[in-house]
Structures are given as structure tokens and as C-alpha cells.
Amino acid sequence: MDAITKPVGAFCQTDGSCHFCVWAPERENMTLRLLQPAEREVKMKKDAWGYFTAAVAGVAPGTLYFLNPDGEGDFPDPASFYQPQGVHGPSQVVDHTFEWTDDSWGGLPRQDLIIYELHVGTFTPEGTFEAIIPRLPELRETGINALEIMPVAQFPGGRNWGYDGVFPYAVQNTYGGPEGLKKLVNACHAHGLAVLLDVVYNHLGPEGNYLEKLGPYFTDKYKTPWGKAINYDGAYSDGVRAYISENVIYWFRHFHIDGLRLDAIHTIFDQSAITLWELINSRIAQAREELQRPFFLIAESDLNNPRVVQEAATGGLGFDMQWLDDFHHALYVLLDEKGRPLYEDFGQMEQLAKAYTDGFVHSGEYVRFRKKTFGASSSHLPGDKFVAFVQNHDQVGNRVNGERLSVLVDFERLKLAAAALLLSPYIPMLFMGEEYGEEAPFLYFVSHSDKDLIRAVREGRKKEFENFKWDAEPPDPQREQTFAYSRPDWSKRQKGKHRQLLQWHQTLIGLRKSMAALRNYNKESIQAQPLGQQGFVLSRQSMDKEQQLLCLFNLSNDKVKYSLSAAPEKYRLVLNSKDEKWVQQKEQVYQVPSEIAAGDTLYLPPVSVLMYACG
């Protein structure tokens, strides 16, 4: 007999009643305790598959409630749609009806995405969804067309990266709750921006995690770096798999989210004959058909395994894209020599060239950091299967002082980094403030209420940095000032060098959108050759081979000689990072040939990028 699964949570009905459903297979009794308008208790009915249900008349949206299993006390609903009083408070009935105005929104093709990762709590002084809306026109003007929002599932207090969420269905109360998120998504679609949401399905945070009070959501069979692993293949796992796979569709259906980025999928363990990934992909296929909109799944994976983005039906995991950490590592160590000890297996120009042509730099080689051979080749995968970046919340926030690239390298290298990313054959992602060179740090912060947990977080953070050989202690994650320091200063966008860097990003994004060669993700159309250990040449061509591009990068402080051995015709200069409008001081200006042809030799200016095109 096949297992029966049901959507869990509190569902408003058209007749004014509410249908409650909670999965608790090992519990004998379940009492629903409604707190408004007058307290009342309702005994829920259990079915053969461990689902307790109750249909209750006269329950209006906004009603607060608890669940009481076997008389052990009041607990929030594991599938709560809103926790207005935080993780320890009652759940609230939510009517998901919303006056959407995005009927004409058809989503964006994957190949067109220019992603912008942001943290809701620090992106604006208000730290809310609605406060982001006034900034959308400027992001759109920059060329951004997709927001990737760090996790918003309810977490303890009001300060957190979001990876300590404990209610996967409840939108953070201090950000504006479900209504606020819907307003932001609706506004994004009106401005032509897609919305991607970061979700965490590998663990739940420690404070306010009441799921074990209701059901066997966790297992001791596996371990994660952050706590108990979620039970995807053990006893009673049908209910857990349903709970998580339904959550994927929940964001798509009720919030019009355009895709999800799944955190650290390498710590999701499932040995089932039909895996969680097959289940999720099946559910998404049904929802896409029903809702007639695209929906993306993006993976963060530490496996360097190309199967992550292969179809689930052919043995893959079925993700549309995955983050490409190797691109960041290979580029970063060549921009910031002080950072090389952090990435001991990177540092050669040949590795950066491989990142452009293959994707994974480690594809079966012995890796010292891992003390084993690692990875498999991804050279056969098109570039739009990967999301590349120079900065993200991890790469910035997991430095001891949360330093952004803008305080680690000079202005010329910031320009070079932007070009290296935006001229790459991958889906680019910027981290909030990167487009104008924000200098404020992005630190790790929490706001727990448990003193023992606060102490454990502080000690754990120190130990983590010891492992990475930092010579300083990190700022206290619990201090409100640590959170306040992490707010970018939006006003800088229109000032001095920040405005110049912003315009540089706009120009690069404009070229990416307008030039056919930069829109071609076919690996056969991409070549990259080192220029010693000083720079590299990136060659790209359009699908029809009518347009050819030469992107010449010099990462050194000296001029680099380059000879064009062959060319179908003359190449014309399209971009020069040492042009007068892109430098801060006149002595940094370098004139380069406006055209080059086969047999010509030119000298690449120090720390520069030149782009030539023909066709």
C-alpha cells in the first residue's frame, strides 16, 4: 500500500472555517488550542498515516494557535505560515489570498539572468521587504534582473543570516512576514526582476526548533556541521519528504517565487530508491505545468560533481544550475596575494583558464586541502549550468572581519574582477553593494535568547577561524553593533569612485546583454590561454561564429606583451579599463590600438582588461 501524504498547516476555507493538519505519527493524541477570539480546545483526528486533522468553523485569518501532543504542552505548528511573536510564540492562521498584479509576468530565461544576492535585514536601514522596493529601479538600471534573497524562514530574534531558521514555511516576522514578501515579489515582477529565494533543507537551527516534539523529522544516522540531519530515508521519512517537497511548491504557488537556491545539498542524505531529488523534480514539473511559469532550482554543492545539474531521470539530481566556487577561488588568489594561504590548492593562471573552459578546476586531481583526489570534469556542461561570482555572503562573511574585496584590493583590480565575472561564460551573481564597491563589512550575526547557545556560537566561531589560520578573533556575533556594521551605505552609489565602478558594471552588463558572443554558453566556443603567470586571454564567439571576441586580462603590475597570431579579420577595440573615463588619476590612462590584426603585437597595460571584437 502506498504511503498517503497530505499538505500540512492551517488552511483557510471559503466558508470561514479553517482546516488544520499536522503530521505526528508517533503521537497518540493531538489537541489544537485556539487563542482567539476566546480560548478553545479542539481534539484532532488521527489517520492511518499519522496525520492529525481538524476542520474548525469560525476561525478567521490572524487567529493564533498552538498544538499540544499527548498533553505535553503547547508548541508552534511545524508547518506554521507565520510566527508573529517569534520562534517561541504561537502560530498564526494566514489567508494566502493576495492582490497580485503580475499576471503578465512570464519569468526570465535562465541564460539572461544577472543575479544580485542580498540580505533583507541589512540591505536597508529598515531591514524589511517593503524597504527594498524603492531601490528596485536603480538595480534594474544597473542591469540586475534577478534578486537572490538570503533565507527568510523564521529564525530566532531579528538578526541572523537566515541559516538558523526553524519554521520552513513561516516568513520572518521582523522582515514583514508573508504579506511583506508578496509585496516585494509583486514589485520585482513589475520592474522586470525575477526573485530567487535561498532555502535550507539540510538542517534546522537550534533555538525554537520544536519539530522533534511533533514527529521524527531528524535522524542520528547522518551528521551535518550544524546539527542533526533531516530524516529523508529512515523510518517515517515519507512524512518528512512530503513536508520538504511541498515547501518547494509553497514558495512557487503562494509567493510567485521564480526559483530556489538550496543550501549545502552535499549534507542532504537520502539512500531511498526514489530520491528526494526525484520527488522534488516531479512536484516541480507538475507545478510548472499547472502555473505555466518557469521555476529554477540552484544548488550549492561541495562535491564538484556534474551529476548535480543532470536530469534526475538519468541519475542526476535535476538542478538547473549550481554555484561555481572554483571560479571564485581561482580568480581571488590571483587578485589578492595575501589570500593565497586560504586556498592552498589554487594560485596558478592555468587553473583560472580551466575555470573558464571547464568549470570545475578540481576534476579528479589530488587536492591537499581534502587530502584525496577530488571532483569530476564538467567540461561537457554548458556555462549556463553554473552561477559564478567574485563575492557572496559566504566568501565575505566567513572572513574574520567580514572584509569585502573592495578593502582587500585596489580600484583597478576591482574593475578587473568585475570584467572577469561579467565576461565569463557563466550566469553572474553580484553580492549586495559589490556593484559600487561597498566597503562596509558583512559579518556573521545572531540574536539568540539562550545564554548557553550564545556562548556556544561565540566559541564555535572562534574555533572555526582557528582552523583557517586567522590571526584575530571575530567580532561578537551576538552584539547588535556587529549587525549594524554590516549595513551597506546605499548613498555611495552616486559618489566618486563608487559611481565610476557602478558605471563600469553597467557597461559590462550592457555588453553582456547586447553581444551575441557573450550570450553563447557553449563550451566549444570558449578558449582561455594563460599569458605566463601574469594574465590570460579569453576567446569567445557567437553561436553562428559571426562574432569573435578577444578579452585580454593582465593581472600583474607590469606591461605584458601579446601577439595576435591569427585572426579572421581586424579586431576593433570595444573596452579598455585604462580609458580616461574608467581611471581615477590621469597618469593611469593608457592608449591602446583601436584595431589589431593578425601579426600585430600590443602591450597590455598593468592590471587591465581590454576587449576586442570582430564581426
Q: Is 327 annotated as a binding residue?
A: yes
Q: Is 200 annotated as a binding residue?
A: no
Judge residue 465's burial from the number of C-beta atoms within 10 Å of its C-beta, 0-12 exposed, 13-18 middle, 19 or more buried.
middle
Kindly state the helix (H) or strand (E) to which residue 287 belongs, with its residue range.
helix 276-291
Q: Is 52 annotated as a binding residue?
A: no
Provide, for the chain, the percentages of residues in helix, strand and coil under a 3-state DSSP scheme, each rounded to the nearest 5.
30, 20, 45
CA distance 171 to 154: 6
Backbone angles phi, psi at 345, to 5 degrees: -95, 10
Expressed as residue numbers, the domain containing 563 is 520-614
* Domain termination residue (choose one: 70, 92, 114): 92
In a domain, 38, yes or no: yes
In a domain, 20, yes or no: yes
* Domain termination residue (choose one: 37, 61, 92): 92
In a domain, 149, yes or no: no
Is residue 54 within 8 Å of 93, Cβ to Cβ? no
Q: Is 261 annotated as a binding residue?
A: yes
Q: Helix, strand or coil for residue 67?
A: strand
* Residue 584 belongs to domain with CATH number: 2.60.40.1180
In a domain, 167, yes or no: no
The pLDDT of residue 608 is 98
Task: Look at the chain and report how many structural domains it folds into.
Answer: 2
In a domain, 63, yes or no: yes
* Residue 14 belongs to domain with CATH number: 2.60.40.10
Is 15 considered catalytic here?
no
Is 263 considered catalytic here?
yes
Question: Of 207, 233, 263, 270, which is the active-site residue?
Answer: 263
User: What is the length of the chain?
Assistant: 615
Q: Is 353 annotated as a binding residue?
A: no
In a domain, 439, yes or no: no
Choose among 404, 395, 389, 391: nearest CA to 486. Answer: 404
Backbone angles phi, psi at 69, to 5 degrees: -85, 125
In a domain, 524, yes or no: yes
Question: Of 300, 358, 384, 434, which is the active-site residue?
Answer: 300
pLDDT along the chain (615 residues), means of 10: 78 95 98 94 97 96 98 98 98 97 96 98 98 98 98 97 97 98 98 98 96 96 93 97 97 98 98 95 95 95 97 91 98 95 95 98 97 97 98 95 97 98 98 98 95 88 69 86 97 96 98 97 96 97 96 98 89 97 92 94 97 94
* Domain termination residue (choose one: 92, 108, 141): 92
Q: What string of DSSP letters covers 517-548?
A: GGG---GGGEEEEEETTTEEEEEEE-TTS--E
Per-residue H/E/C for 375-404: CCCCCCCCHHHEEEECCCHHHHHCCCCCCC
Number of C-beta neighbours around residue 145 at 10 A:
20
pTM (global) more than 0.95: yes
The pLDDT of residue 1 is 39
Give Cα separations from 43 to 5, 52, 56, 70, 204 (angstroms): 21, 9, 10, 11, 29
Is residue 364 within 8 Å of 347, Cβ to Cβ? no
Q: Is 152 annotated as a binding residue?
A: no
Q: Is 325 annotated as a binding residue?
A: yes
| Helices of type H across 133-176 | 136-142
Kindly state the helix (H) or strand (E) to which residue 92 belongs, with its residue range.
strand 91-92
In a domain, 531, yes or no: yes
Q: Is 256 annotated as a binding residue?
A: no
